[in-house]
Each structure stands twice: as structure tokens, then as C-alpha cells.
Chain A
Amino acid sequence: MKYNGPLIMNKQRKKTSFFSQKIVRRLPLFTFLVVVLGLSQALAQGTEGDAAKGETLFKNNCASCHKVTAERSVGPGLKGITERRDVPWLVKWIHNPSAMIASGDEYAVKIYNEYNKVQMTSFPNLSEDDIKGILAYIEQANAAPAAQAEATGAPAAGGATAQAGAPSDLFILVLVALLVVMLLVLGVLLVIVTILSKAVGGETTEGSEGTFMTRLRTSLTKVAGNSVVRSATIWVFVLLVVKATIDGAFNVGVQQGYAPKQPIAFSHKLHAGDYKIDCNYCHTGASRSRSAHIPSANICMNCHGVIKKESPEIQKIYEAIENDRPIEWVRVHNLPDLAYFNHAQHVNVGGLQCQQCHGEIEKMEVVQQRSSLTMGWCIDCHRKTDVNTKGNAYYDNLVQLHGQENKGALKVADIGGLECSKCHY
């Protein structure tokens, strides 16, 4: 049913008077109409404007700076605004706040000074009816919150207990699993030892004699006494040590897993993950230059000049700015000087996502080097990655020539991605 304001309300009034003569016979219908009438009258009495329309208008125009409650946001909270100011004053103010302040209106100047001389934006295209609608919405919203709070309170509490219960269940599960695994390992160990002692001794051990531990010990001493088993064990050890040494040597200069403590506990998880701030917002160089850039303090101040000023970590930035001293961030990704790398080429031309090389930065509290940054790692990607040639006339000839001799798509390796002098010069 479409609600068209007063017109339908009048109709309902007429109907009630018509049906009131037959109250007894049409009791259900009568009560229904009474309820409808009562509701519409209550709405009409409480406000002069259309609250539903006012809600949309409020959200589009006012909500960024004002709250419907008494809470102060950028501008004052609007609870009880109609008691503080009359409607004509408000209309004048909303249409042109600067003129009100200039005219020396006492209340306007007071508000202006109270909010650090930040002037409200003018809204000349809001009609008087619009403003009345907004005021109606503010009143309505202030009447509702008590009931809303009750409704939302109960499930929230339930959710909390469920959450608290969940980890303990998991813990028990892990504990049981561990116990089972331990028992299994013990069993396997026993089986191996008996088989080995049989093979070595050539005779069956006197099965069920003694406890489990003494059986294990006698079997083990028998095995240890055998020269073949002993030399085999030692050789396994030697080979393992050689492997560990070679692996270690290959990892010299590889800083994978490096996650140094930074002078300010900046969380990428919060900024890039929860608030979804684009990487490029702070690392302005990533799309423009060789280096991705560590943001200067003025970029921090774009938000923290206003919010979270009191946090001790953010106070460190203030201190750095006030004393004009650099913040000594620790560089995480250290590519050796012998290799050249350019961020802009990979981000703009290659169209890579930051996460492809840097891992899930948006989930890291402390940034860690996820990729190895070795030459093998670079080359591997250059061999696998297709060149994005679509809609780029520069590549047309290359793709054609490549297609004549090769079957696969044009890879980065095919256009010089493996040439030494591209990165080493």
C-alpha cells in the first residue's frame, strides 16, 4: 500500500464515522481502523514533517557531522534541537550559516566560536518542509533507541558466551589428538624394535617376559651392538649434517621471515586490512618510482592530525614532527645493491598486486618478509607470467613473431625477462 500523506488519513476518518453505526456487528474491522487511526494521529501529533523522508535527507546531508543523539561529533549532537532553537531560526541557519554569523546573531556566533570557528556548510536547496522532516526524524530516532538497545543487548551477550566456549573445545580436541598420536608412535616404535631385534639376533625374543620398558631396553642394546645398524645410523647423521650445511649456505643473504621490531608499532592489519586503506595512499612511490617509499609523517597526519591523537604510539609521530627528527623505520625488504628492481614497472606495467610479492600484508601486525627475494624466485615468476598484451599496440608485432615459432603465450622471459643486464649492471 502506498502511503500518500494526509489524503488517505482523511478517508480513514470518514470511514470510521460511517461504520460507527454498526459497531456491534463489525467489531473486528472497527478495532483495526481505530488502531490505524490512532497510529496516524500519533505520528501527525508528534511531528509536523515526514520522518521517513527526513531520515534519508539526514543520512545524505547531516549524518557526516551530526548525530541524532546528544553526542558531539564534528558538529553538535542534535537531540532536543527543537527545544533549543525554533524552526524559523534553524531554517535560516541551515540555508546560510555564514550570513547568520556575519549578521551577529548571538547564538550563531556562540556556536561558531565553540566549534573552533569551523563553519557549517550551507544547504540552500533543503526546503522548509525538508528541514521539518529532518527534525521529525531526529525526534523519532531519540524516542526509539531505548527499545532498540534492549533488543540488541540480549543476542550480543549470547554471542560472547559462545565465543568463549569455542577455544576450549578446540583445545580439548587437540589434546585428544595429541594423545592418540603419542600412543600410535609408541606402538610403532615397539613394532620396529621387535622386528629389528629379530632380524639382528636371528632368534625370537622371549615375548611376554618383563615389562614393556625392560623389553625395549634389551632390544635396543641388541640393536646398538650390531655394527651394520651402527654404521648406517652414523651415515644417516653425516648425510643429514651435510644437507643442513648446504641448505644453510644457500640461505646466506636470504632474509625470508625477517620481521624487525619497528620504532612505532604501526599495524598494517588495522590500516590496510580493517580500514581497507589502499597501499598506494601511503606508499606513494609504488606506482610512480623505483622505490615504494616509506610515508612521511605528513601522510600519517592526514588522519591522525584529527583522530587517535592521544595514543602513545601516535604521540611518537608528534614528537618526531615537533623536534623535526626523522622516524628511524627499519627496512624489511633488503634487495642487495647488485640487483636492480623497479616497483613502478611491476605495479603499473605488470599489473601485479602488492600481495603477490609481499604476502598478506593486510593481515600482518608486524611486517614480515614473506618471499625469499632470491634470483631463482624472480626468474621463476618471469618464466611463468604471461605478458598482458591485450589492447597494447606496442606488443602486436612481438606477439605475431612469437606465435610463428612458439606455441605458448608470450611470457616475460620471452621479452628479456631473463637477460642478465636487465637487473645486474
Chain B
Amino acid sequence: MKFTNLYKGIGMMGMVAMAFTSCKRDTNNPGLEFAPNMYQSVGYEPYRQVENHPINPMGLNMREPVAGTVARRNYATNFGNGDSTRVDLMIYNVPKDSIGISERTLTNPIPLTEQSLAEGKVLYVRYCQHCHGATGAGDGTVGGVYQGVPNYKGGAYQTMNSGHIFHVITHGKGRMWPHGSQLNPEERWKVVHYVHQLQKEDS
């Protein structure tokens, strides 16, 4: 009789365990962690934060750069090979409203090669295509909803020079907002190469 009681007890426990484990997990709950001190970083990481930072404003691990700091995102300063090598720090202090200065003074320091054009295309697909469209006709998937996206081959757009395009990517113009935070100057110049290609192509 003792054995049957034991069996009964184990059976009951088994059923309870089944009932608990078969429940669906709440999607808001990340689940159990074993030894969390091996999961959480000892140093302060920007994108992994469990507790408020004790010193920084708003408890953020990240801090804003000191006011007046000039971002220097591209570390290469030589572009091109041989005699055509150009040295450019790519730090341009052209104010947002002075697009004329950019048009007159800025030139593309990156030589136009097959590679730079291909890289420009990759960047164009990532950062521009959803509005400006694959051919630059302003017919991207977002462009239709956003409205006011020009056709690169239309009117004055067809002849816009490199400095102008660079300035617009950096600071925005009209309905387009600045994209300088997403593309560093070197990448912007590569996009400029590809945009020139789209201005020329026959549609």
C-alpha cells in the first residue's frame, strides 16, 4: 500500500509540473537568467542598460559630445592614386542657408571610378531609394506618400552640380531633411557620383 501512495504522489506532482511547464510564456518577460553578473556588462555600454547611470544626465550611459566639438568621421585623407591623389579633410563649415557657397566652392575629392560608383549605388539604395526611386525619378515607395520628391532628370535638377547635391544631403533642402548624421562626408561624395549618373541616364 505504501508503494501505491508513493506512486500516486509522484503522479500528482508530475501533473502539476506538466500544468506549469505547458503554459505559454508572456512575451513581455525575457525569462530566467542564470548568473546575471555574467550577462550584464561591468563597463557602461551605450545600448545595454539595466540600471540608471549614477552621474550622467537622465541616467543615460551615453553622453553627448562637448558643445562645439567638430565630428571627424572619416579618417582617410588621401583619395585617388598617383598624381591625381587629393588630400581633403572633408570638414566643411558651410552654413545650412549658404547653398550658393557649396555650389561654387565644393568639388568631389573622390575620383570617379567603377568602385566608387558601385559603392555610391549601394549607399543610394540604402539611404535614398525609398524616396527618390531606383532611377531617381522621385517614384520611390515612400516618395508617393511623402510628396514633393523631384525627378533628377527634370528641369533645373538635371544640371545641379556636386557641391549642391553634397550640401542638400548634408543639410537638407525644401521638404528633404538633413541626412548628414547617417552618411559621413566620404559616403556623401560617393552618393554624389551615383546621383550624377542618374541625372544622365536615359529613362
Contact = CB atoms under 8 A, between A and B. Distances in A.
Interface of A: 60-61, 64-65, 73-75, 118, 121-126, 230-231, 233-234, 237-238, 240-241, 244-245, 247-248, 251-255, 257-261, 274-278, 280-281, 284, 287, 291, 293-294, 296, 298-299, 301-303, 305-307, 325-326, 331, 334, 336-338, 366, 368
B11 interface: yes
Given A121-B155, A123-B155, A278 B127 contact: yes
B10 interface: yes
A252 B13 contact: no
Given A234-B10, A278-B129, A326-B60, A303 B28 contact: no
A248 B10 CA distance: 19
A238 B9 CA distance: 11
A280 B129 CA distance: 12
9 contacts: A64-B148, A244-B17, A253-B34, A258-B30, A259-B28, A278-B127, A284-B182, A325-B58, A337-B48
Contacts of A234: 7, 10-11, 14
B138 interface: yes
B148 A74 contact: yes
B39 interface: yes
Interface string B1-30: 000100100110111011001000101111
A51 to B, nearest CB: 19
B153 interface: yes
A47 B145 CA distance: 31
Contact of B10 (A237, A255, A303): A237
A362 to B, nearest CB: 12
Contacts of B25: 257
A284 B179 CA distance: 11
B142 interface: yes
A123 B127 contact: no
A326 B130 contact: no
Contacts of A121: 150, 155-157
Interface centre among B31, B46, B155 (most CB of A within 10 A): B155
B70 interface: no
A305 B11 CA distance: 63
A238 B10 contact: yes
Interface residues of A, dominant DSSP: loop
B58 A73 contact: no
A301 B10 CA distance: 61
A255 B31 contact: yes
B42 to A, nearest CB: 8
A241 B175 contact: no
A299 B181 contact: yes
A391 to B, nearest CB: 12
Contacts of A275: 130, 141-142, 145
Contact of A73 (B14, B21, B39, B148): B148
B182 A74 contact: no
B177 interface: yes
Given A241-B13, A255-B30, A301-B177, A336 B145 contact: no
A258 B175 contact: no
Given A121-B156, A230-B7, A325-B58, A64 B48 contact: no
Nearest to A119: B174
Contacts of A298: 177-178, 181
Contacts of B157: 121
Nearest to B129: A278
Contacts of B82: none
Contacts of A261: 28
Nearest to B31: A255
Nearest to B16: A241
B37 to A, nearest CB: 9
A245 B17 contact: yes
B40 interface: yes
Contact of B126 (A257, A281, A294, A296): A281
Contact of A252 (B14, B32, B48, B127): B32
Contact of A338 (B10, B38, B46, B158): B38
Contact of A302 (B125, B150, B155, B179): B179
Nearest to A325: B58
B47 interface: yes
Interface in B105-139: 125-127, 129-130, 137-138
Contacts of A251: 31
Contacts of B179: 302
Contacts of A280: 126-127
B146 interface: yes
B41 interface: yes
A61 B174 contact: no
Contacts of A305: 177
Given A73-B148, A74-B148, A244-B17, A281 B127 contact: yes
Nearest to B203: A60
B78 interface: no
Interface centre among B4, B38, B47, B137 (most CB of A within 10 A): B47
Contacts of B203: 60
Contacts of B155: 61, 121-126
Contacts of B149: 64
Nearest to A308: B145
